[in-house]
Amino acid sequence: MSRMKIALAGIGKIARDAHVPALMASDAFELVAAVTRHEPPEGARGFRSISEMKAALPDVAAVSICTPPRGRLQLIAEAFDAGLDVMIEKPPAATLSEARQFADMAARAGCVLFVTWHSRAAAAVEPAKEWLRGKEIKRVEVSWKEDIRIWHPGQSWIWEPGLGAFDAGINAFSVLTHILPGALTVEDAELRFPANKDAPIAADIRLAHAHAAPVLAAFDFDQRGPQTWTIDIETDGGRLALSDGASAMSVDGEPVRLDGGPEYHLLYRQFQALLEDRRSDADLRPFELVADCFLLGRRKLVAPFEDF
Amino acid sequence: MSRMKIALAGIGKIARDAHVPALMASDAFELVAAVTRHEPPEGARGFRSISEMKAALPDVAAVSICTPPRGRLQLIAEAFDAGLDVMIEKPPAATLSEARQFADMAARAGCVLFVTWHSRAAAAVEPAKEWLRGKEIKRVEVSWKEDIRIWHPGQSWIWEPGLGAFDAGINAFSVLTHILPGALTVEDAELRFPANKDAPIAADIRLAHAHAAPVLAAFDFDQRGPQTWTIDIETDGGRLALSDGASAMSVDGEPVRLDGGPEYHLLYRQFQALLEDRRSDADLRPFELVADCFLLGRRKLVAPFEDF
């Protein structure tokens, strides 16, 4: 069976680190083009715009968007105008209203839209969801702390007004909204802004699960040494601990053996399944929770941050 | 025909100024109960909770929520549990995630939910929408400036972390999202916070309509003298001006004669129509735009504000 021809838009760190290897390993997709101002990946032709690419390579059927969140509206509108199915790297957009428009545009164009949350593809996520089913949630603690110097080296967009440390924290929200049985509500938040930046470097958030159980989250972008991506969940049937960004899991201290490969391999398999069903998946709940933190959050100024 | 028995939850300024008069004038609804810690309106019985009310007055069929936005989730969950249809004063909730849950709860309970935006019931709104149909939008300017001392006297909730001046500005967003043919996207915002408050007293916002036309909005909660609620729209077919909160309208400087009564009379007629059709109306776009302003907005500290 011939593979579906796909393009990548935006050839930055996440495209090179994650998308290109996943596509190279895929037996469903063939990476033939890149829309980028930079060098295209090996074996792919480079184009300046989607319409230019579509004119030269009319059999490209889908595009995977890896550009920074600002400015995607126009790009995605062009993709749907060209009849392409679209997969989107997180966070889906700079604003909720834009992200909402993507789904409307996909429906109007009769195209498939996949708003991805790569942390949901981590190995422990589905086993955790299954284990939590039917249990009462008592308390949740989230610690998502990483060093922006490692994960976003030299990326100026990360400090534009917007997510900041929530660019990582939104991964935790994407896992929580997927595995917890009830809905999450933001009750209180403190956002810490470096005096020289327009985005928060850290945040402490208090949420409620299903109106009742406390969910405490701490996000930090200035974590030296070991990186921390953990979710601990106390239930009436034991204690679940997710670590390494939900790629590892233990129950009451006992490690659980997990299957599962790289997150982006699974994301492209999920995209393939959506394409076969001609079905979209555009869950914006993680992004809504982030917007709620900004809406309700108290701001605190902290020391300037010199990153690069 | 006998009127439907309805309750008000939250007897504050907006209930007394707007909801009670509208219900007194209604031939569809009969105000029989109030859920409040204060005095119920004349002719209505007071209760401390929805379940207490439902036990005493099982034939109450609907409740109209006028409490401050914080804490509505529990109240509305109780209303749907009691099988009541629900109408909600703006803003719908303290957070988007809560407001989204209302719609889910309504669907599960088989109840009607009406998320109201009272400014959409102003006399010029439907004529403006009709006039704009098929025209190209060139530029929009919004000025929504009022004196918080007049409109929210002694209301401490208005300064809790959250909307601030957007409590008024969200009315402008509710009109814009209804009358403009395309979608709105927040591009940039400056939010001005008094040094002693956790909510903005003023904001300047730059949006785009349908990816292209500039939409500039200025919100202010510290407007002495005449109050300003205007929307000016330049099109390829002339210039539309809405004033007095979209209750008056002119085209190219010529006033347009309008029909229309008090906003809340129309809101209750709309609720009646939704109940007859067993259909919900829960448009959260105005609230999403506000959340986007907080997400993308640069914060500026301004002089302390002494209100009351």
Domain boundaries, chain B: 4-115, 123-257+290-302
User: Whose CA is closest to B174, among B231, B259, B255, B101?
Assistant: B231
Q: A-chain residues within 8 Å CB-CB of B163?
A: 295
Residue B155 has pLDDT above 90, yes or no: no
Chain B contact probe: residue of A70, A80, A96 with most B CBs at under 10 A: A96
End-to-end alpha carbon distance in chain B: 47
Pairing outcome for strands B62-65 and A137-145: unpaired
Q: Mutate which of A73, A78, A180, A185 to test chain B, going by most B C-beta atoms within 10 A?
A: A185
Nearby residues of B208 by Cβ (< 8 Å), 6 or more positions away: B184, B185, B187, B214, B215
Q: Tell me what pLDDT residue A154 has.
A: 84
Q: How many CB atoms lie within 10 A of CB A87?
A: 25
* Out of B94, B96, B211, closest to residue A288 by CB: B96
d(CA A38, CA A60): 20
- Count of pairs with CB atoms under 8 A, one residue in A, one in B: 95
Residue A100 and residue B288: Cβ atoms within 8 Å?
yes
Distance CA A240, CA A173 (A): 17
pLDDT in tens, chain A (308 residues): 689 999 999 999 999 999 999 999 999 999 999 999 999 999 999 999 999 999 999 999 999 999 999 999 999 999 999 999 999 999 999 999 999 999 999 999 999 999 999 999 999 999 999 999 999 999 999 999 999 998 888 888 888 899 999 999 999 999 999 999 999 999 999 999 999 999 999 999 999 999 889 999 999 999 999 999 999 999 999 999 999 999 999 999 999 999 988 999 999 999 999 999 999 999 999 999 999 999 999 999 999 998 65
Q: Which of A54, A90, A145, A197 is catalytic?
A: A90
What stretches of chain B show up as alpha helix (H) in DSSP? 13-14, 20-24, 50-56, 72-81, 96-109, 125-132, 148-151, 166-179, 263-277, 285-296
- Chain A residue at shortest CA distance from B74: A211
Altogether, the residues listed in chain B come to a count of: 308
Count other Cβ atoms within 10 Å, centred on residue B305: 17
Average of per-residue pLDDT across B196-218 = 95
The Cα-based distances of B61 to A83, B74, B149, B222, B239 in angstroms read 48, 18, 36, 40, 45
Q: How far is A228 from chain B (nearest CA, A)?
A: 25
* pLDDT at residue B42 is higher than 60: yes
Q: Which helix (H) or strand (E) holds A299?
A: strand A298-302
Its CATH architecture, for the domain A123-260+291-302, is: 2-Layer Sandwich (3.30)
* Mean of per-residue pLDDT scores for chain B: 96
H helices, E strands: number in chain B: 10, 15
Per-residue pLDDT tens digits for B70-113: 999 999 999 999 999 999 999 999 999 999 999 999 999 999 99
Q: What does the pLDDT average to over B196-225?
A: 95
Sign of dihedral through CA atoms A93, A96, A101, A106? positive
Q: Find the closest chain A residue to B166 by CA distance.
A: A295
Note the pLDDT of residue A306.
84
pLDDT, position B1 = 62
Which parts of A249-304 fold into alpha helices (H)?
263-277, 285-296
Alpha carbons B234 and B175: distance in angstroms, whole number:
16
Q: What is d(CA B233, CA B142) in angstroms, rounded to the nearest whole number?
A: 9
Give the minimum alpha-carbon distance from A41 to chain B in angstroms, rounded to a whole number.
30
Angle between helices B96-109 and B285-296 (to 10 degrees): 160
Maximum pairwise Cα distance, chain B: 59
What tokens appear for A107 in the block?
């429906």
User: Is the separation of the CB atoms in A277 and A110 below 8 Å?
Assistant: no
Using alpha carbons only, how large is chain B's radius of gyration in Å? 20
What gap in Å lies between CA A293 and CA B95, rounded to an integer?
9
Chain A residues with CB under 8 Å of B188 CB are 161
What's the confidence (pLDDT) of residue B152? 87
Hey, what long-range contacts does A73-79 have (CB within 8 A, 24 or more apart)? A73/A98, A73/A101, A73/A102, A73/B185, A73/B211, A74/B211, A75/A9, A75/A35, A75/A50, A76/A102, A76/A105, A77/A105, A77/B211, A78/A49, A78/A50, A78/A51, A79/A9, A79/A50, A79/A111
What would the CATH number be for the domain defined by B4-115? 3.40.50.720
Compute the nearest-CA separation of A194 from chain B (Å).
12
Q: What is the CATH number of domain B123-257+290-302?
A: 3.30.360.10
User: Residues of A with CB below 8 A from B96's CB?
Assistant: 96, 288, 291-292, 295
CA nearest to B290, candidates B96, B54, B60: B96
**How close is the nearest chain A Cα to the Cα of B298, in Å?**
6
Interior angle at CA A10, CA A7 and CA A14, nearest 5: 100
Residue corresponding to tokens 């849950």: B101
**CA proximity to A105, closest of A65, A45, A58:** A65
What ipTM is given for this predicted complex?
A: 0.94
Q: Is the pLDDT of residue B290 over 60?
A: yes
**Beta strand pairing call for B113-115 and B85-88:** parallel
Burial class (CB in 10 A: 0-12, 13-18, 19+), A164: buried
Q: Is B135 one of the catalytic residues?
A: no
Task: Check if the beta carbon of residue B172 is closer than 8 Å to that of residue B178.
Answer: no
pLDDT at residue A1, as a whole number: 62
Whether B162 and A288 lie within 8 Å, measured CB to CB: no
Contact yes or no for A291 and B100 at CB 8 A: no
Other beta carbons less than 10 A from residue B9's beta carbon: 27
Quote the pLDDT of residue B308.
Answer: 54
